[in-house]
Chain A
Amino acid sequence: MASRDVVTYKTPLSRLLNVVIVIFLAFYLVWTILPLFLMFVSSFKDLLAAFQLPPVGAFSQIGIFFDFEPTTKHYYNLFYNLGFSTYLMNSIIAAGGSAVVSVVLGSMAAYSLSRVDFRGKGDLFFWIISTRMAPVVAVLVPLYAIFRGFDLIGTRTGLILAYTTFNLPFAIWILKGFFDNVPFAIEEASMVDGSTRFQAFRAILPLVAPGIGAFLVLCVLFAWNDFLFASIIGSGGAKTLPPATRELVQPQNIQWGSIMAAGVVTTVPMMFLGLLIRRYLVTGLTMGAVRE
């Protein structure tokens, strides 16, 4: 940054400031990573080893954290005894299905909203964004009552529909911003060459494809991480990973090893997806309000 270039003389104060900054960053790094790291390591610990703590105040014995025989039995347990392969499948289908539905319908709507003007467009936008911003529990109450009537509780279809309540408005809203950036001249040129309007729409798709792909991934992420819809609408037949993990917490016997393993299974794929679309993450998480 520019200010860095201007103030280059090193006073004792600026040196001290540098030290403070390094300490702060190191502290923040540890603070961010430690829970993830503990989750990861604990998922490989046997039950007894997971409960080992040094005596209060004995900082020198902190090393016992690493004193264990790694075991993959919790992962084995998850998939062979606790039925997590079904839950994983439910998660993949519900999140993927809702993302595809949202992005396909959303990009069509976003494209036309970006190309046409009509009265009440502002109100339409307000409706779309407020759908997305509504508290999940408040949406859940009527949705539960309706879905119960249609026998959609405990089905993957029900979950896909439920996730579409927040993914579709998100897709429309954010993709509209994307299509706004594509000059109409490109379609015009394509139509001059004799293509139909729908072919012209397809002609600009390659331009927006990276963005559409990224927001598809983000829709998957939002749906995958959901807990409330899954625990009410998915309860019974379509349990996904987060509520299934939560159910391992039982008053008598909390299976910590399995919970941590389930946490890893739920979190790691999403972290990879997050890194994959790193470039679009700020735009996506701020609903298009901030661009990097």
Chain B
Amino acid sequence: MTQNKNATPEGVVRYVEGAKVLDYLPQVFNVKPSSSYYFWLMAPALIVLAAISIYPFFWLIWMSLHNVGSSAGDTFVGLKNFEKLLTDDKFWIGWGLLFKYTAFCMFFEIAIGVLLAVILNGHRFENILVTVFLMPMMMAPAIAGLVWYYLFNSTFGWYHWLMQSLGILGETSIIGSTDTAMAALIIVDIWQWTPLITLITLAGLKRVPRDQLEANMVDGASAFRNFVAITLPNIYPFLLIGIMLRFMDNFRFIDVILALTGGGPAESTKVLPVYLFDVSFVFFKLGRGAAIALTLLIVTIILCKLLVRVFEGPASKRTDMGS
């Protein structure tokens, strides 16, 4: 809040053509505005947020140090839960699979998403096409997983039939084989979330300065050269946001995986969050689950630090109000 430096106890002093004018204002403006009013406005939200985020966080730490739910009640076990993780193959494989899954998803989504955005930008049907393309994003990931489960089914799935007919696949369904199950998950993620990258990139493309593009063209640069030299640096901050968001969401959500493969076959798609889900809610080893959850959270928080920095980048500069 800006304090008018001309404020005096009687009001705000202003000079109009040399004459002293007093603007009388409510008392609130003459004293330093108290922040307690604002504090009370934000208090309810912060209290609720603390109750559902900070409190559970400490609870999580407590759980990770205990053997929760054993017949003898919760017993303190120190760092044993973490020690066990060091030798737990599934834990490390889970991390590996998570990064593999995320990396593949992001590579294809960025490649296809940017290509699509460049094509769509200024296209005659840009608006309607973008609107259609973003439909999959509105779908619940669990439902998307089930629909694709149906499409990939080896006896009546149309996509399976198509892949078989094209000679890509044999009898085994894509989700039935350890070699291809991960690919199926990546396909669904690409289907659902490539449009997000396209939307973000399109927003970036709208801000590429036209005069620079034209000047470069006049200087004889090719369209490709133009893209690399001018467009790409301009949309780079936007791409960064897209990458970070997809990265986060691939860590956050396992709905598609649970619906489509459930971590199988033979644990070939058991990324870390799915493993965590199994440990905690299938075998109900909550203490051990808490230890895994804590490591996952810490990695995410570090990534968040990066994200916030990206968010303060040039892409978030506001142009106009409310749009």
Contacts and interface: CB of A to CB of B under 8 A. Distances in A.
A binds B: yes
A137 to B, nearest CB: 5
B22 interface: no
Given A116-B35, A208-B322, A249 B146 contact: yes
A143 B52 contact: yes
Interface in B279-323: 280-281, 286, 289-290, 293-294, 296-297, 300-301, 303-305, 307-308, 310-311, 315-316, 318-319, 321-323
Contacts of A245: 142-143, 146
Interface string B99-134: 000000000000010011001111000000101111
B139 A141 contact: no
A146 B255 contact: no
Interface string A259-292: 1101100110011011100110110011111111
Interface in B36-51: 37-39, 41-42, 44-46, 48-49
Contacts of A169: 49, 53
A135 B300 contact: yes
Contacts of A285: 137, 196, 199, 245
Contacts, number: 325
Interface in B156-172: 156, 158, 161, 164-165
B238 A168 contact: no
Interface stretch (B13-21, B23-31, B85-93): B23-31
Contacts of A197: 28, 37
Contacts of A274: 134-135, 137-138
A154 interface: no
Nearest to B68: A145
Interface stretch (A54-62, A67-75, A78-86): A54-62
Interface in A122-179: 125-131, 133-146, 161-162, 164-165, 168-169, 172, 177-178
A267 B165 contact: no
A31 interface: yes
A192 B144 CA distance: 54
B303 to A, nearest CB: 8
Interface stretch (B76-84, B177-185, B210-218): B210-218
B323 A259 contact: no
A275 B135 CA distance: 9
Contacts of B2: 184
Contact of A105 (B48, B116, B137, B213): B48
A227 B147 contact: no
A36 interface: yes
Contacts of B263: none
Nearest to A211: B322
Given A1-B121, A4-B122, A129-B308, A145 B52 contact: no
B138 to A, nearest CB: 4
B7 interface: no
Contacts of A51: 155-156
Contacts of A224: 140
Contacts of B28: 191, 197
Main secondary structure of the interface of B (DSSP, over half): helix
Interface residues of A, number: 120
B248 A35 contact: no
B304 A130 contact: yes
B57 interface: yes
B142 A42 contact: no
Given A145-B59, A145-B68, A182-B321, A28 B116 contact: yes
A178 B129 CA distance: 28
Nearest to B38: A112
Contact of B59 (A146, A177, A273): A146
B228 interface: no
Contact of B57 (A59, A136, A142): A142
Contact of B26 (A57, A191, A232, A282): A191
B139 A140 contact: no
Contacts of A292: 202-203, 206, 323
Contact of B276 (A138, A180, A227): A138
Given A165-B53, A221-B138, A259-B146, 6 more contacts: A39-B147, A59-B165, A112-B37, A242-B142, A274-B137, A287-B311
Interface of B: 1-2, 25-26, 28-29, 35, 37-39, 41-42, 44-46, 48-49, 52-57, 59-60, 63, 68, 112, 115-116, 119-122, 129, 131-144, 146-151, 155-156, 158, 161, 164-165, 191, 195-196, 199-200, 202-204, 206, 210, 213-214, 217, 223, 226, 238, 241-242, 245, 248, 251-255, 258-259, 273, 276-277, 280-281, 286, 289-290, 293-294, 296-297, 300-301, 303-305, 307-308, 310-311, 315-316, 318-319, 321-323
23 contacts: A4-B122, A35-B148, A59-B165, A105-B45, A133-B304, A134-B252, A136-B252, A137-B276, A140-B281, A141-B63, A141-B286, A142-B293, A165-B52, A181-B321, A197-B37, A201-B41, A225-B142, A232-B281, A245-B143, A249-B146, A249-B149, A267-B138, A282-B203
Shortest Cβ-Cβ A-B pairs, 5 listed = A109-B45, A112-B38, A1-B122, A227-B142, A225-B140
